[in-house]
Amino acid sequence: MELYPLQVFLTVASEKSFSRAAEKLLRTQPAVSLALQRLEQEVGERLIDRSGRDLILTDAGRTVLDYARRFLSLQQEMENSLAELHDNSAGRLTIGANESTTLYLLRHIERYRELYPKVKVEVRRSLSSRIPDEILGGTLELGVISYDPGAERLKSKVIYTDALAFVVSPRHRLAHRKTVPIGELGSENFIAHNVLSPYREVVLREFQAHKVPLRMDVEMPKLVQKNLGVAFLPRMCVEQEIEQKNLCEVRVKELHVERKIRLVYPTRRALSHAAKAFLEVVG
């Protein structure tokens, strides 16, 4: 079985779209459809249910998807190993991170690139909740998340400890306060991320425990600067805005939530030279 049709199928399944898969693979949509049809003929099963508007994998499709990830991961490991035999500092490193945890990677990647300039580093944007499964499935070698994955087949090490910051506009009534009790926040309009996280859940529980209403009508954090609401955000994400006085940080007496950023990697699968070197860089 050729690997290219498996790569096409994996891309279509990941993108949930033939057109987006074609763009990502730099192929035409008919070429992508033809490669998938050939794969279905080879395995003798329909892999995608085309009867509805949404792209849904069949049972056979989910099985093939699992093996496609393994095959392509092995291909990448082989290419990395051959590159490392030729040049010990070469290879490829794929790290998964979501939008906010990418920030914690930057200084480590800069240092890593200084030491290993020939290694190609790819940071893939992914939902934090999916990263552990993608590592176990072989599509990622390392991942950065803000929670303990709690899986025996994964190891994690804390690479940064941050905290949630309560931030308001400089024009907000609380801007010149150093601290505020949680009870004073019941009338505020909170601007929140639209993705659930363990830290958002902590904030929700704390407001519920103190019987303080929590209004979250808007889902765009940048509107805090325009004084259209207040927000709890990872401090590292707003450090620059606080230093430039575009936002003001106010301590909430009842809420001190640490945000531990973890580098996650598999316990049983051998890491490439590039990945082992990155673990040494982050300490």
Tallying the residues shown for the chain, one arrives at 283
Q: What is the pTM of this model?
A: 0.55
- Contact indicator for 242, 248 with CB cutoff of 8 Å: yes
Confirm whether 84 is domain-assigned. Answer: no
pLDDT score for 31: 93
Confirm whether 86 is domain-assigned. Answer: no
- Distance from C-alpha of 166 to C-alpha of 13, rounded to nearest angstrom: 39
pLDDT score for 9: 92
Name the pLDDT band for 236 (thresholds 50, 70, 90).
confident
pLDDT score for 197: 57
pLDDT score for 2: 75
Average pLDDT over residues 61-88: 79
In terms of average pLDDT, the best of 17-26, 69-78, 101-110, 191-200 is 17-26
Confirm whether 177 is domain-assigned. Answer: yes
Average pLDDT over residues 224-237: 81
Q: Which domain range does residue 233 map to? A: 160-259
Confirm whether 120 is domain-assigned. Answer: no
- pLDDT at position 223 over 60: yes
pLDDT digits (tens, 9 = 90+) for 54-66: 788 999 999 999 8
Name the pLDDT band for 15 (thresholds 50, 70, 90).
confident
What is the number of alpha carbons within 13 Å of residue 93 lying toward its C-beta? 24
pLDDT score for 156: 92
Closest CA to 241 of 261, 262, 221, 255: 221
CATH number of the domain encompassing residue 26: 1.10.10.10
pLDDT score for 86: 59
Residue after which a domain boundary falls, among 30, 50, 75:
75
Confirm whether 1 is domain-assigned. Answer: yes
Confirm whether 235 is domain-assigned. Answer: yes
Lowest mean pLDDT, pick from 93-102, 182-191, 224-233: 224-233
pLDDT score for 89: 63
Average pLDDT over residues 111-116: 90
Pull the structure tokens for residue 18.
Answer: 């033939």
Name the pLDDT band for 192 (thresholds 50, 70, 90).
low
Closest CA to 34 of 15, 12, 53: 12
Strand 91-97 vs strand 119-125: parallel, antiparallel, or unpaired? parallel
Confirm whether 165 is domain-assigned. Answer: yes
- Distance from C-alpha of 184 to C-alpha of 222, rounded to nearest angstrom: 22
- pLDDT at position 88 over 70: no
Name the pLDDT band for 254 (thresholds 50, 70, 90).
confident
Query: What interhelical angle do 273-282 and 59-86 show, nearest 10?
Result: 80
- Distance from C-alpha of 45 to C-alpha of 163, rounded to nearest angstrom: 50
Domain count, the chain: 2
pLDDT digits (tens, 9 = 90+) for 159-168: 888 888 899 9
Residue after which a domain boundary falls, among 40, 75, 110:
75
Average pLDDT over residues 210-222: 62
- pLDDT at position 216 over 90: no
CATH number of the domain encompassing residue 251: 3.40.190.10
pLDDT score for 112: 92
Average pLDDT over residues 193-220: 65
Q: Which is more confident, 96 or 270?
A: 96
pLDDT score for 77: 79
Confirm whether 176 is domain-assigned. Answer: yes
